[in-house]
Amino acid sequence: MSSHLKHLEEANTELAVLKRHVTAAFSYIKDQCSSDAGFDGKLLDDWQLPSYELAFCMAQLSAAAAFNDYAQKLITQKFTQQLALSFCAETLQGVLNQLVARATDVGLDRAKLLDIHEGTVYRKLLDTYASTKFLSSLGGEIVDNDIQRLPSLLSEEKELVRETFYRFANEEVTPLAEQIHRFDEDIPDSILQGAAELGCFGTCIPERFGGLQPDDRPDSLSMIVVTEELSRGSLGAAGSLITRPEIAARALLSGGSEQQQQKWLPLLAAGKTLCAISITEPNTGSDVAAVSLKATKTINGWLLNGSKTWCTFAGKSELLVVLARSSKDTSLGYKGLSLFLVEKPSFIGHNFKHAQEDGGSVTGKAIATIGYRGMHSYDLFFEDFFVPSENLVGEEAGEGRGFYFTMAGFAGGRIQTAARATGVMQAAFESALSYAKSRKVFGSAIADFQLTQVKLARLLATLTAARQFSYAVAELMDDGAGQMEASLVKLFSCRAAEMLSREALQIHGGMGYAEESAVSRLFVDARVLSIFEGAEEVLAIKVVARELIEEAP
C-alpha cells in the first residue's frame, strides 16, 4: 500500500473521531430539550446557533470522507490522493477549531478535543498536507498541467451523457449567457428547444412516460451530471431547467393519479409543457407549512385567491404547480394544504396577466435580482382563479396531502441544487485558472505566485469534494436512502460555491468586478444557491440538526 493510501485511511479514522464528537454534541442538545414527556422540538429554538454550526461541521466532515473514498479508488492517481489529503487536513483543522470554540455550549470536553489536536496522526496530516509548501506544490502542478477537473469515475454511458451536455453548454449556452444576464433577457428558444431535444427535461421522469430514467430504478446520477454541465454554461439560462420539471414529476409520481401521470409526465419530459413551482409566499419563506393562499371549493373545482412570490420561470411556463390551503381549519397546519396544477398560456417578458373567461385571473411581475437571470422569479397574485377538480394532485384523495407531495418533490431538489453549485464552481475555477496563467503583474504570471497556487489547489479540492459528495449521495438516494445526506451536500456545496466564486473573482482582480467578465456573473449567481430550495439556516436547523438530534443516542 502506498503511503498516500495509508494516510487516507488514517484521515478517515480522524474524520470519524470528529463525527463522534459532533454526534455527542447533538446528544447533549437532545438531553437539554427533553423531559419525562420526551423530546420537545420547540426547545430547539434556544439552540439555534450550536445546531447551525454543528450541521455545517457534519456537512464538511461528510464531504471530506466522500473525497477520501473517491481518492482511494484511484490507486494510481498520486495527485488526486494528495489533493484529497490536503482537503481533509484543512477540514479536520477547521471543524476541530469550531468544536473547541463551542465546547462549553454543547457539553464537550475541551481538553479531550485539544488532545486530538496534539495527536500524532492528526499533527502528521496537518503538518504534511496543509503546509504552505505542499499546498503551493499542488497549485503549481495544476498550473503546469492545466488540470481543470479530476477523473470522474463515471461509467462510459454517464461520461457520454456528460460530454453531450458539455458540448451543448459550450456551443449553445455559454455564447448567450452574458447577454441574458446583463440585459435580464428571457431564455431563448434555441436553448429551450436544444435542451428538450437532448432529453434535459426528462432526466427524472421514467421511460414509460417518455423520460430518460429507467422504469425499474431511479437514476439520480444522470440528473446530477446533466445539471452540472448546464450550470457550468449558465445557472440562470440552463442549469435550473431541470429543477422545476423534476419537482413536479416527483410530486406527481408520489401522489398524482394515474390519469394525471399519463397526461402531464410525457408533456414535461418532452419539454412541450414548461412548468414552474409556486410554494413560497410573502410572509412564509421557507416555512412551507404556513402557506395561506386560499383554495375554496366551488362547482367542479377550486378558486384560488392570494399571493405567491419567488415563483421562478412563471412567465414562460404553461403549468404552475401551486401549494394552497384547501381547508378552512387553520389549526390543521400542513395537513390542510393541497397541491394544484394551474394551467396558463406562456408569456415572455417581465410582466403578464392571464384572465379567464369567467373573470378569474393570475398576474405576475418579475422580481429584479442581482443574479440568476434568464428564468425570472415572479410575484404572483391569484384572484378567483378557477382550477378544475381533475387538476388537484391526487384528485379527491389528494386533498390535504399537498405538503407531503411537495416534500417528495423537494427531496431531489436539494441534491440537484448541489449539482448546480458544482457546475457554477467548475466554470469559476476554469475561469480563474485561465486568467491566472495569462495575466502578468510585476513581471510574472499571477499563477506563478505562491498565494495564487494555494488558492487554486484549495478551489480544485473544494470543487472535487462537492462533486464526489453529490455522486455518493446520488447512489444512496437511488437505493432508497440518502435524504439526510442530500441536505448535507446542499449545505456544503452551496456555501462552497460562494467561497469558490469569490476567490475566482479575486484572482481576476479589477477585471473580475467588471460585468464584461463572466466570473462576475458566476459570483452573483452563486449567492442564490444558499437561499433557494431551502434557505441554509432553515435547512441546517430545522432539517439537518433536528433529525441528527432526534437520532442521537
| Residues taking part in catalysis | 533
Question: Angle, to 10 degrees, between the axis of helix 78-102 and the axis of helix 450-478?
Answer: 90
Q: Which three cell numbers stand for residue 475?
A: 447512489
| Among candidate residues 368, 292, 266, 352, the one with its CA nearest the CA of residue 317 | 352
- Alpha carbon 141 to its chain centroid, in Å, reads 30
Whole-angstrom CA distances from 156 to 162, 222, 389, 433 are 10, 12, 46, 28
| Contacts (Cβ under 8 Å, ≥6 apart) of 16 | none
| Among candidate residues 277, 257, 265, the one with its CA nearest the CA of residue 213 | 265
Contact 35, 108 (CB under 8 A): no
| Contacts (Cβ under 8 Å, ≥6 apart) of 173 | 191, 230, 233, 234, 237, 238
Whole-angstrom CA distances from 153 to 75, 138, 226 are 12, 21, 16
Helices vs. strands in the chain: H and E counts, helices first: 19, 12
Torsion of CA 70, 76, 82, 85, to 10 degrees: 40
Neighbours of 10 (CB within 10 A): 17
Sign of CA dihedral 393, 396, 397, 399: positive
Q: Which three cell numbers stand for residue 40?
A: 420537545
Secondary structure element (H or E) that encloses residue 138, with its range: helix 132-145
State the Cα–Cα distance between residues 337 and 295, nearest whole angstrom. Answer: 9
Secondary structure element (H or E) that encloses residue 156, with its range: helix 156-168
In 291-356, beta strands by DSSP E: 294-298, 301-312, 319-325, 337-343, 351-355
State the Cα–Cα distance between residues 87 and 90, nearest whole angstrom. Answer: 5
3-state SS, 473-523, equals HHHHHHCCCCHHHHHHHHHHHHHHHHHHHHHHHHHHCHHHHCCCCHHHHHH
State the Cα–Cα distance between residues 118 and 124, nearest whole angstrom. Answer: 10
- Alpha carbon 394 to its chain centroid, in Å, reads 28
Question: What single string gives the DSSP state of each residue in 207-269?
Answer: GGGT-SB-TTS--HHHHHHHHHHHHHH-IIIIITTTHHHHHHHHHHHHH--HHHHHHHHHHHH
State the Cα–Cα distance between residues 204 and 259, nearest whole angstrom. Answer: 19
Torsion of CA 389, 393, 394, 398, to 10 degrees: -90
State the Cα–Cα distance between residues 142 and 448, nearest whole angstrom. Answer: 11
